[in-house]
Structure formats: structure tokens, C-alpha cells
Amino acid sequence: MKKHSILITALALTLGLQGAGVTVHAEGTAADTSAGAGKTLTTAAGTSSHAQAVYKAALPLLADSARLPQAIQYLNSNIYAVSPYQATVLILKLENLHKAALPVWESRFSGSSVQRKLTSVYKAGISMAKLAESTEDAALRTLLKTAGESGYKLETAEGSFFPVIDYAAYRKYKVYVMSDIRDYITIMATESDLPSSKDNGLVIGWSEVAARALNQEQFVQHYPKSNRITAVKTLYRVYVTNTFYGQNNTPLFHYDNLEMDLEAQKAYTSILAKDNGNSPFLQKLDGLMKLLKENGYKQDASVEKYLKEEVPLT
């Protein structure tokens, strides 16, 4: 990892020098003794030391959940100055801090008084800052404002309100981090923008369910050693279950007649008509759809056997 960090930093410095139009001369040429050569070396050293200074200054901010607002502001203003490897470490630390602090924020929102007040101000898709502006209750305004500045947004399910990590806000960091975390941010921001389910039912279409599962599978295939491989694998298992079984309030097979949901049938047929390539997920879906086509798209013993063997519930 240390060697990788050195290589990434060296690459960043090289790109930075090229972008600035500075010429790097080979050792032993006449240019080495010129003022230009001295300027080149100074620029490289300056770039490296500045990146390291920015990186080190961010670390204590990312060690204390009470400093989340300051950490976010600092990263937003300075992350451009560090190497891709350093940026990746900082963003992963930010997410770790968000996860660690979330239970405390959940408790702050869980009180009956706060829940009652939120009922009158909550609007789907509205930021914490906008919600804070919409209430005259000083305590609630402060809670909402601080939660928003700390990187959370408000969600609701089963009549309750609760904060979640606002992964959409991580999108601004994608251009600075390494490729696996860039793709990880895309996956998590999609979940943040529109969660797949609420109240034990799917709130996205069957085609979107399968598309997200496919994206997650591709991440697992492309980045088996990613720092976030476990998180994506966990999410992938959820989407595999949703694809092949649905949820309690949106089952893949209707409870009354055991027929496959018609919209799911259309969605899966359309996806498989495009490509199933080297995707184990699509190959299993293709096997299920071929079996269902033979029996009129109804769940029977053969379908149950296939699901139990190929995509067992855990």
C-alpha cells in the first residue's frame, strides 16, 4: 500500500508539472545548472509538500464527529490539492465518521416531540437546510441545520423520520479519488437519491432493481480488493433477493395465484434480450425466465427448486 501511495503521488506530480507547462530535463544536461532547472525542482517539492500539508490538516478533523461540518468544508475547499490516493483515504475516513456518528444523530431525531414537529415541516427531497428554514421552532431549526451541515439528510418510513448519510453530496469528490471509490460513490449516491424500498415494498421498478444488481456485480468483479468490497457485496445480496423474490408487499409471484408479476416479466425479458454476457447474475436470471416460460410464468415446484439451488435465501 505504501509503494502504491508513492507511485500515485509520483504520477500526480508528473501530471501536475506537465499541466503547468514546466519542462523536466534529463540529468547531466546543460539545463540542469540553469535557473529553469532549479525552478522545476522547487515546483515539484512545493507541490508535494502542499499536498502533504493539506492531507495532514484534514486528519484531525476526520477523527471527531463533532467536527464533521468543519471537515466537510475543509475537504470541499482543499481536496483538489492532494493526490488521488490521499483523497481516497480522506473520503473513506469521512464515510467512516458518518457511519460512526449516525446512531447519535438517530437518537436526536427519535424523540416523540421532534417526530411530531417534523410531521408539519417534512417534504420529500428537501434538504435539511431548507427544512430548517421552514420552521419557527428554534431547537428544531438548530437540529436540522446542524445535521445538514454534518452531511446527513432526512428520510421517512413507516411514519417515522430519521437521518441518513447524504451520499449524493459525495459526488463532488468523484473526480479526485481512485476508480473503485469513484464507482462506489456512484452506487451509494444512487441509493441515497432513491432507496429501493420502503415499508417492506419496492419503490423502484423491476428493471431498476436488476440494473442496480448488475452494477454492483460489476463492481465486485472489477475491484475484488477494494476497501469497500464488503459493503458492495452486502448491498448486492439485497438486490439479488429483490430481483428473484421481491419483497413482502411487492412479491415477484402474486400470493393469490402464484403468477409472476407482469411488469417484472416484461422488465426481465427486456434486459435479457440485450445481453447476458459473462454476468452470473444475468445467467441465473436467464435460467429462471426460461423455466418460467415453459410453465406459463407461474411459481411451481420446479421454480422453487431452482430458486433454492441458484439463489437461496440466507
β-strand partners of 133: none
Half-sphere exposure of 209 (CA within 13 A, CB side): 28
Centroid of chain to Cα 45 = 34
Tell me the three cell numbers of residue 146: 446542524
Q: What are phi and psi of 302, to 5 degrees?
A: -70, -35
The pLDDT tens digits of the residues spanning 147-186 come to 999 999 999 988 899 999 999 999 999 999 999 999 999 9
β-strand partners of 162: 155
Q: Which residues of the chain have pLDDT under 50?
A: 1-45
The pLDDT tens digits of the residues spanning 235-246 come to 999 999 999 999
Which among 125, 124, 131, 168 is positioned nearest to 147, based on CA atoms? Answer: 131
Tell me the three cell numbers of residue 166: 447524504
pLDDT for residue 276 = 62
Contact 179, 140 (CB under 8 A): no
For residue 79, the surrounding DSSP H or E stretch is none
pLDDT for residue 130 = 95
| Sign, Cα dihedral of 60, 64, 67, 70 | positive
